[in-house]
Amino acid sequence: MKPAIYATRDAALLAFLHARCFVQAWDKRAFEDLLTLKKVLGFVASVEERPAGFIALRVAADEAEILSLGVSPERRRHGLARALLSSAAEHADNAGARTLFLEVDENNLAARKLYHRLGFAEVGRRSRYYRNCDSVADALVLRRTLPIPAWESR
């Protein structure tokens, strides 16, 4: 089933989804602070009218950055992250961005594989960036040029 993807500025919904996806979740206030910025927008993917994933994006001049991306555990590996990335990349491209950046936990192999398939390349590393309950990991800084052609985002 193809997800319905829509843009949102609903901080409570984004915080709810973030908490479903991450141990150290951003709260409603964090999303409110982000969404007050003019060039920040969230996208939500719904399946059977239920929110199942999200992406938060910032566009500044000719660059865009994925601030966070998550899919509810029970909906992973069904193409939602790819669909969200495609929507965010299209929005960024339409807003004038020519480059898209994101950071990913070096240990998140599923996400790294998806980003590689979408043409992202490693351009940097943030040492000990992710700190979870009992682990610390580097963040890989990834980049790709925009637009992402439709045939690449399928």
The 10s digit of each residue's pLDDT in 44-99 is: 999 999 999 999 999 999 999 999 999 999 999 999 999 999 999 999 999 999 99
Average pLDDT (132-143) is: 88
pLDDT at res. 47: 94
Tokens of 22: 């991450």
* Summary count for the chain: helices (H), strands (E): 4, 7
Q: Which fold has domain 4-145?
A: Aminopeptidase (3.40.630)
Quickly count: other Cβ atoms within 10 Å of residue 4's Cβ: 14
